Each structure stands twice: as C-alpha cells, then as structure tokens.
Structure 1
C-alpha cells in the first residue's frame, strides 16, 4: 500500500478538532423536548423508546402512541435505535436528552470514520478536511442530534465501509464479521441502504488499491465474475438479506394484526412516479436543499474539484459509485426524498471525502487568508441555517405545545387515552406521554366523539392556531374550535400558547 509523506498527515491533536467541533455543534439545545423540524418522525421514535422502557416489551414488539385503545404494536423498521435509548432510560428514567445524546455519540464516531475513509481513499489531509466538512454541515448537525435513527444509520454505513476495507487489506476475520453486522444493521434500520451502501461496498471488493490508480474499466466484467464465483460473497449477501427479509416479514405480520403501520408496502405507498421524476421544480428544490443545507454552499465548488481530481483513482470509483447509488435511491423514492430531507443524509457521507480532496487540491499555494475566509464563511452559513431553520423552530414549538403537554402529564392519569387534534402528527401525544387517537379538526363529529368515549377516551387536546405542530390552522376552523371550547364548562385553555384540553363529556361539536 502506498505511503503518504508525513507532511501530508495530521497529528492526533488535530484529528480531534473536527470531532470536537462537530460534537459541540450537535450539543446545542440537546435538552429540548422532541419538537421542531420532522418532530412527527422523532416523536414516533421517542414513543417506541418510552414504551420499551416502561412496558418492558422485547425489541421485536415496537409500540406507538397513535394506537387508539389498543396496545399500539406497529409495523416498522427494526427499532434498534429506540431500543438502545430505552436501555439508557433504565438507568435514570425517561429523559429524552439521552436519545439525543446517543445520536451525538453516533455522529461523533461517524466523523472519525469519515476521516479514516477520506484518508484511505485519497490522503490523510483530504481525510481531515472531509471530517471537518461532515462536522459542520447543517443537515448533518441537526440530524446528528435528532431523536431518530439517522445518526446510527450513517455510523453503521461508515463502519461497514471501513471494516470491509480493513478486511481487504489484512484479511482479519473479525473485520469481515463487523462489516456484515454494520451492513445488515443499516438494512434493518432502513431498507434503501441496500442500494446506496451496497454499491460502494461492491466497489471496495472490486478495487485492488483505493489509494492508487483505478483498475481499467475494461477489466471490470472480469473482476465482477471472479467475485460472483466466490462462495464468501454469496454467504455475506445471502445471510444479510435473509436477516433483513425476516424482520420485515415479521413487521408486516405485526402490522396486519394491529392495523398500525408506517406504510412501507402496497400500492398506497406512492413513493415515486413518472410525473414526479419529470417535475423540474422538484429537482431544483432538491439541488438547492443539498447545496445549502448539506454542503453549506461553500462545499459545492470543492465537491466538483474533488470529483475531477478523483476520477481515475480507486477511491474515486468508490465515492462516485456511492453518489450513483444515492441518486438511484432518490429516483426510487422521489416523493419521500422531496418531503423528508433526511433522505439526503447519505450523500453527506460520500461527498465529504470528495470535498476534502477538493479542498486539498485547491488550497495548496493559496495565500493563507483565502482558506481562512472560506472556512469562516462555511461556518457562518452553517450556523445561520441551523439558527433560522432548526433551532428557532424548536423554541417556537416548545412555547406553543409544552404548556398543554405538561398539563396533561400533571392532571391526567398515566393510562388516560386522549384524542389529539393534530391531524396525522403524533408530536403532542409523545410530549404528553399518553396514547390515544389522532384526528384533524375538520373531522370532529358527534359520531366520532361517541365512539372515542366508548373506547375509553377521556379528553380532547389541541391548538386553536396549529392544525399540526408545524402547520397553521385555517381561520374558519379556529373559530369553530373556539366556540366548542367556550361551550365546555370544564375546559382548560392556555391563552399564551392558544391550546386547550377538554373533557369529552363536555363536547357538543358543530357540524
């Protein structure tokens, strides 16, 4: 393996700078309740962790809050992350900063692995800058401390790549086993890593020397055939797919029994379509989101420089195949990709080493003030995006929803079932730490109220101004809700947050 000169390396002390900076950014507002951007997704994850801890259910029986009068067992991805959080809860109780803290830890380890991958594929200096790019990316910072499994997913993906590369170098059995565990865990946490992670893992197997000259493309078919003829390849892939398929079969059976599902399968999923793929506005929005929230604008030119510089290297083949995998996943899940920005997170894992290589290529022979200026600009862009688009949203939603949630926790029994008037958003249920029903304000009818009462619902809770925790309510519905609450003799209303809690027995909804 080719050695790089010592001058291009990084000292152990410098190596901690991206990890330390990235961890510091991710610790901002770590004490926040589960609110903010994509709080509905985080709320379901937090609910699973809470139920695992309080009910003592095994990892194969995840539960959600929007279960009505049932136990809430749900068809879901493999709930490794919430189960790990529940083990932390067993130490000091349900404290949601523990879940955020687990994400921060996973993200910090991923920064370290990204630095190793950048060094392996390109050079020590490129690896160091890759870690820094990953550390300050706005989307990476936010979801690197969010209460959901994305930080663990990226850690598993980076771990699979690094351990398989180690196995290629040293043929140590434990490295291959670790790669299998990481790859399988990524596929259990989310299905789509089978593509965006499977392709670069395949290229690691086919690349003879990631740091050196890439093998000629005309030899690729011969190398693929040689790999396909190896029994170990099929054992790795086959056992991993069997484990993943086994879980999703079990999850599907669970959903069929309970009627609760996140909607993975079936014609109703509507993940992509020709019209979506041909929608130019959708692609432009994705490009702007990636440029600003993933690459902090400054990373865009260095990504392009890195792509050009890596084109004929083994590491370049691996990273480019990764970008192709992410693109194919985006095409396959176009609707989700345009709505859920965390679908772009895998791109950060592979673009960061290219940005590091681009920075290394560019900043040589540059006046010292130019790199410093661009680094300062990247950090300013990142902090601005984080402050306006993420941290401020958490503050606003905490003021809007926590008074109601804390009132429910204080005044209602822990087994009380409530009706949350937040449409399909379970955030309030999780904040209140209660199970119950989700309903839109326009669906309130005497018939539904009677059914909920008979099923055990005790109270109706919601906001006068928010339909979901993040979507304003139409003015007409605000007025109808106010009239309903005014007619209730036992209603609780918080005038500052504009939220309400009403005993169902008091309600006489208007059609």
Structure 2
C-alpha cells in the first residue's frame, strides 16, 4: 500500500510539473516570434467558426479576398474546441492555449504508459518529464496549432496497438485504429506510424496478417475517413495557397532527400536542437542499450520516425515537423534515467538533474515566446479606423495583420494569383473594384516593394494614424 501511494503521489507531482511549465505566457497573442503565421491562421479559423459559419467541415481564413475563404487543411479538432470555448467564455487567448496544453498532457500520459510498460517506474516518470522539457515541446505544446492534438492521437495509437499486439484484444486494435485515423487527420506525417505497425505485424504473423479481417478493418478505420475528408475539403476549398501543400511541396522531393548528405546534416542539427544537448546523450545510451527481441516495437518506431524526419521534416524545413520524433526519444531517455535512479535517493538526484536541464531548455525556448508588438499595434490601428465588415489590403506576405485585426482582405504585391494584375496602380484599382476600403502597411513596409508601391499610395490616398502606424484610406 505504501509503495502504491508513493507511485501515485510521484506520478501526480510529475504531471503537475509538466502542466506548470506550460502556464507562463499562456495569455500571449498568436503573434509570437515562434511561428506566428501558423498560430495566427489557426486561431483565426476558430474565430471564423463563430463569426461566419459554425461548422467543423467549413474552415476558412480571412484571406485572400472577401469571405468565404474555405481552406483545405487538417480536420479542425483543435480550432473547433477553441471556438466552443470562445463561444462560452469569450475571446481569451489563454482558452485557445489551454486546448493544445491539455492535448499535450494526454500525449505525455501515453509516453509515460509506454515507457512504464517496457521499463517500469521510475523510467515512466523520467520519460514523461524528458518529453515535456524538450525545447521543441516547451514551445509547441502550448502553441495555437494542431501539433499537440496530433501528438496525443499519435502516441495513443501506438500505445493501444502495442496493447493489442501483446494481448490480442480487438477493443485495443480498433481503439488504435480510431487514434491512428485522428492522428493522420491532424498531421499527415504521422502516417509513418503505420510503417512501424506493418513491421510489427510481419514479425508476429509473417505475411499471414494479410488474411486477417480485423487488420483490414483496422486499416479502413485508420485511412478511409481521412481519404473522404481530403476529397471533401478539396471540393469546397476556395483558397489555393495551401491546397495540396504536401503533394506539391514535399512528395516530389522526398525520394531525393535520402540521397543528399545535406538532409542528414540538417536533420541531425534539428533533432539535437529539438531534443536538447542535455537529453541527446541519454537518448543515445537508451537506444544503443536496446535488446532486439524485447524492444522490437520501440526500435521499429524509432527507425520509421527517422525515415519521416528525412522524407518530410528535412524536406519542408519547418521546425515543428520534427516534433514527432520526441515521444520515442523521450522513452529512450526515460529508460536510461530509470537505470540511474533505481533507489529513492538516486531518483531524487535524477529529478534534480532534470530540473537543471529544464531551466536550460526553457531559456533556449524563451525567445519564441516574445510577441511581435509591431503587428499588435498595427492591428489596433486597423481596428480603430475600419469596421468589422470592411475589406483590407495588407502589405505583408504573412496574413497576421488580417487575422489579428479580424478583417478579411488581400495581401498586396505577392504575385501569386494570376487574376490579380501586377503594378501598384493596377493592383490597387483591382482591390478597390472588389470592395477594398483600406491599405495597411506594417511600419511603412510593403512586401517586395522597390519604392514604387509606397510612392503611389502616398501620392494618391489619405493616411489615417500617426507615426509609423497608419493605414491608407482607399475610398
């Protein structure tokens, strides 16, 4: 009984710690230095659910053009929950950040359960902490993005699959199928977990698994809803900027990445940064110390996620795509630390060591929490001089000004849409003809401007505002 109480007490303290380090900066706007474009877009979808069409199957942006701007993106679990919270309690950024935090806490629980299943406690505790204090997770676990939801379903899918693999209870297999489906619906690269599952099935049944109906049912549950949603979202999408983004920007380059030394160097640097130099040695020791028979599932999971790193993350070069390597690296770190902390005395020592690494990793992530004050101030100017239904043109490639001000409109001078003419005068007249009332630069900045765009605006339109924060009245 005493041992059970000790285990429960420590587990509760571990998860309270994981939650506590995610509470600073919880009321930050989406306009943080860390991926403000993606955070801003995500939060704007939640607002548009409330303000325009409260339907999870119709996500839309504030850009490019007048509403609706339905968009082909992931299934909107995170944003729809945020919208429900906004509707009940009002627009508060801490509500938006609580959603990914709770999803991340759930994924930390699965990391704990996986590590505990293979290596017991204290390895489970240490794995959960290592997972939580990795620099990439310190920031993105509370970012207004779908990554935390993807991690939750991703880790849950693997955990329940392992449970089925060992116990052969169909409930675990089908639950894993649901989690796999939802994981892929949030971030397509999580589909690589399926590769690990296939290798596990070959080991268990050889190729006889192809004759098992329950595994075909598992595949249908995992994949079919995502295929149907992809077809649906493509059919309604009016916004072309992110449509088929994976097929256009990733798939054609993935095969080549495996034959380019740069891909491996880039991946090694990003993984070290994401996991941290304090934890990488522990991860490496745990991996090298693995036993093929005992740790087969974890080894295969590791290999398949390294394949994902090269095929996807190293191609698209967005830091948050490296986040899916963190659960398995945390398990390896937990294994190593579990061997170091076998007694209560050494457990305390390991915990203190992890606290030091936490402080260092948090210091590394701190810069990403800083808000972009210039965007926030410019958005206030837009809100001051325009009404909610006014169409706005902004002078930045990033749409954060539209999202933050809650206005629909266009991004000027990006030369992306064939139907929008080039040149300051022709482009501005196009926007006016289509209903634009104001033009907002950012501190006088206009994307891709050689000076002619700003000159045309200065000579032909009235400025509203003071100093560097102003907008042009187009009509």
Q: What is the TM-score normalised by the length of structure 2?
A: 0.88
Among 389, 409, 417, the alignment partner of 2:383 is 409
Partner of 1:325: 304
Partner of 1:139: 136
- How many residues align? The count is 467
Unaligned runs of 5+ in 1: 1-5, 207-219, 468-472, 506-511
Unaligned runs of 5+ in 2: 416-421
Provide, for residues 39-63 of structure 1, a one-character-per-residue CA deviation record: whole Å limited to 9, x for no partner.
Answer: 1112221121111122233211111
Q: CA deviation at 1:130?
A: 0.2
Query: In structure 2, how many angstroms separate the alpha carbons of the residues matched to 1:450 and 1:480?
Result: 15
Query: Do the aligned partners of 2:380 and 2:405 also contact (CA within 8 Å) in 1?
Result: yes
**Partner SS state of residue 267, structure 2:** helix
Partner of 1:214: none
Q: CA deviation at 1:265?
A: 5.6
Partner of 1:361: 339
Sort the Cα spacing of 1:235 and 1:372 in 2 relative to 1 into closer, same or farther, 3 A.
Answer: closer
Partner of 2:419: none
Query: Do the aligned partners of 1:133 and 1:352 also contact (CA within 8 Å) in 2?
Result: yes
Query: In structure 1, how many angstroms separate the alpha carbons of the residues matched to 2:44 and 2:18?
Result: 27
**Partner SS state of residue 47, structure 1:** helix
Query: Do the aligned partners of 1:63 and 1:71 also contact (CA within 8 Å) in 2?
Result: yes
Query: Do the aligned partners of 2:254 and 2:315 also contact (CA within 8 Å) in 1?
Result: no
Query: Do the aligned partners of 2:31 and 2:376 also contact (CA within 8 Å) in 1?
Result: no
Query: In structure 2, how many angstroms separate the alpha carbons of the residues matched to 1:200 and 1:266?
Result: 22
Query: Do the aligned partners of 1:110 and 1:154 also contact (CA within 8 Å) in 2?
Result: yes
Partner of 2:470: 500
Partner of 2:426: 447
Q: CA deviation at 1:311?
A: 2.8
**Partner SS state of residue 272, structure 1:** helix
Query: Do the aligned partners of 2:313 and 2:321 also contact (CA within 8 Å) in 1?
Result: no
Sort the Cα spacing of 1:450 and 1:44 in 2 relative to 1 into closer, same or farther, 3 A.
Answer: same
Provide, for residues 426-476 of structure 1, a one-character-per-residue CA deviation record: whole Å limited to 9, x for no partner.
Answer: 111110111111124896610010000010111111213666xxxxx78x8
Partner of 1:33: 29
Query: In structure 2, how many angstroms separate the alpha carbons of the residues matched to 1:306 and 1:170?
Result: 26
**Partner SS state of residue 392, structure 2:** strand
Among 86, 91, 94, the alignment partner of 2:91 is 94
Partner of 1:287: 268
Partner of 1:84: 81
Is 1:381 paired with 2:355? no
Provide, for residues 82-130 of structure 1, a one-character-per-residue CA deviation record: whole Å limited to 9, x for no partner.
Answer: 1221111220223332221101111112112211110012222211110
Q: What is the TM-score normalised by the length of structure 1?
A: 0.83
Query: Do the aligned partners of 2:461 and 2:473 also contact (CA within 8 Å) in 1?
Result: no
Is 1:231 paired with 2:209? no
Sort the Cα spacing of 1:25 and 1:54 in 2 relative to 1 into closer, same or farther, 3 A.
Answer: same
Partner of 1:272: 253
Q: CA deviation at 1:341?
A: 0.8
Is 1:350 paired with 2:332? no
**Partner SS state of residue 21, structure 2:** helix
Among 17, 32, 36, the alignment partner of 2:13 is 17
Sort the Cα spacing of 1:280 and 1:381 in 2 relative to 1 into closer, same or farther, 3 A.
Answer: farther
Query: In structure 2, how many angstroms separate the alpha carbons of the residues matched to 1:454 and 1:10?
Result: 70
Among 134, 150, 160, the alignment partner of 2:157 is 160
Partner of 2:400: 427
Q: CA deviation at 1:152?
A: 0.5
Query: Do the aligned partners of 1:461 and 1:502 also contact (CA within 8 Å) in 2?
Result: yes
Q: CA deviation at 1:15?
A: 0.7
Query: In structure 2, how many angstroms separate the alpha carbons of the residues matched to 1:87 and 1:30?
Result: 18
**Partner SS state of residue 151, structure 1:** helix
Sort the Cα spacing of 1:10 and 1:198 in 2 relative to 1 into closer, same or farther, 3 A.
Answer: farther
Q: CA deviation at 1:286?
A: 2.7
User: Comparing 355-364 with 163-172, which one deviates more in the overlay?
Assistant: 163-172
Is 1:263 paired with 2:227? no
Sort the Cα spacing of 1:69 and 1:373 in 2 relative to 1 into closer, same or farther, 3 A.
Answer: closer
Query: In structure 1, how many angstroms separate the alpha carbons of the residues matched to 2:257 and 2:459?
Result: 46
Q: CA deviation at 1:501?
A: 1.2
Query: Do the aligned partners of 1:419 and 1:437 also contact (CA within 8 Å) in 2?
Result: yes
Sort the Cα spacing of 1:275 and 1:155 in 2 relative to 1 into closer, same or farther, 3 A.
Answer: closer
**Partner SS state of residue 333, structure 1:** helix
Query: In structure 1, how many angstroms separate the alpha carbons of the residues matched to 2:16 and 2:70?
Result: 39
Partner of 1:300: 280
